């Protein structure tokens, strides 16, 4: 009897255990809208932080800044049109050059009566005829020498050219052109005038010609 009751008790315990294991478990509760609202209320979102942007130095200036910049920069001055000129051939004396030439020729042993240098070019005149400016083209020389014999003229020309080259090279005198040389030979029987381009005379001098040869064999 006891053995039968003990076996019945074991079978009943096993049956209960199997029944508990096979029973379905309760499903997890599904979140509801109320639960979500409650959760949101308990943990509110953080308030966004206002960030003030820092302007970059490379940004394009505003219209106001551009206006101020334009006002602070002085406007370029308007060019004044050049005055209208009436050009007239003219000469201007070179007094210092004349005095130096006279002294140099005298020191060379020549009987000099006069020596002058002048700049030849163009005067710029306004509508009223007043001088605005002078533009030199060349420097001309006029020399008067006292001579007793025509045979002396070639030697005198040679000495004059040497003095001009030594004291007054073309690049040191007004105007880009070599100019003219005029020699006036004053003799008891009258005057003889000789005018020749300075460049031509200097070329002959550098070529080794004598004054007599330059004057045509006098």
Chain centre distance of CA 40:
74
Q: What share of the chain is helix, strand, coil (3-state, %, to 5)?
A: 40, 25, 35
DSSP 58: T
Q: Which residues contact 105 (CB under 8 A, 6 or more apart)?
A: 112, 115, 143, 145, 159, 160, 163
Domain boundaries, the chain: 93-118+140-214
DSSP 127: T
CA nearest neighbour of 206 among 187, 176, 184, 178: 178
| pTM of the full structure | 0.61
Q: Which residues contact 177 (CB under 8 A, 6 or more apart)?
A: 137, 138, 170
Q: What is the pLDDT along the chain (218 residues), one digit of tens a residue?
A: 444 444 454 555 544 444 444 444 444 444 443 333 344 334 443 433 333 444 444 444 444 444 334 344 444 444 444 568 999 999 999 999 999 999 999 999 999 999 999 999 999 999 999 999 999 999 999 999 999 888 899 999 999 999 999 999 999 999 999 999 999 999 998 999 999 999 999 899 889 888 888 887 55
Q: What is the rounded CA–CA span in Å between residue 117 and residue 182?
A: 10
CA nearest neighbour of 118 among 146, 144, 137: 137
Residues 168, 172, 175: CA angle, nearest 5 degrees: 110
Predicted confidence at residue 206, as pLDDT, reads 87
Predicted confidence at residue 140, as pLDDT, reads 98
Determine contact, residues 145/194, Cβ cutoff 8 Å: no
Predicted confidence at residue 217, as pLDDT, reads 56
Predicted confidence at residue 199, as pLDDT, reads 94
Predicted confidence at residue 145, as pLDDT, reads 98
Side-chain-facing half-sphere of 27: CA atoms under 13 Å: 3
Q: What is the rounded CA–CA span in Å between residue 192 and residue 216?
A: 14
Predicted confidence at residue 83, as pLDDT, reads 62
Q: What is the rounded CA–CA span in Å between residue 10 and residue 18?
A: 12
Predicted confidence at residue 26, as pLDDT, reads 46
| Torsion, CA 160, CA 162, CA 164, CA 169, rounded to 10 | 160
Q: What is the rounded CA–CA span in Å between residue 62 and residue 58?
A: 12
Side-chain-facing half-sphere of 148: CA atoms under 13 Å: 2
164: number of Cβ within 10 Å: 26
């Amino acid at each position: 009897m006891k053995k039968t009751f003990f076996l019945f008790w074991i079978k009943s315990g096993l049956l209960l255990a199997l029944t508990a294991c096979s029973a379905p478990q309760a499903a997890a509760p599904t979140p509801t809208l109320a639960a979500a609202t409650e959760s949101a209320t308990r943990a509110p979102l953080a308030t966004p932080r206002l960030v003030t942007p820092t302007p970059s130095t490379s940004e394009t200036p505003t219209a106001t800044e551009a206006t101020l910049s334009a006002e602070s920069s002085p406007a370029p001055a308007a060019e004044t049109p050049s005055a209208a000129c009436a050009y007239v051939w003219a000469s201007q004396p070179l007094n210092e050059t004349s005095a130096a030439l006279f002294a140099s020729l005298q020191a060379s042993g020549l009987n000099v009566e006069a020596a002058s240098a002048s700049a030849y070019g163009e005067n710029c005149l306004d509508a009223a005829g007043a001088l605005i400016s002078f533009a030199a083209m060349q420097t001309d020389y006029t020399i008067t020498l006292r001579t007793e014999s025509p045979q002396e003229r070639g030697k005198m020309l040679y000495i004059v050219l040497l003095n001009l080259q030594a004291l007054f090279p073309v690049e040191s005198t007004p105007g880009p052109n070599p100019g003219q040389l005029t020699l006036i030979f004053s003799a008891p029987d009258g005057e003889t005038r000789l005018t020749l381009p300075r460049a031509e005379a200097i070329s002959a001098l550098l070529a080794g010609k004598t004054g007599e040869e330059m004057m045509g064999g006098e």
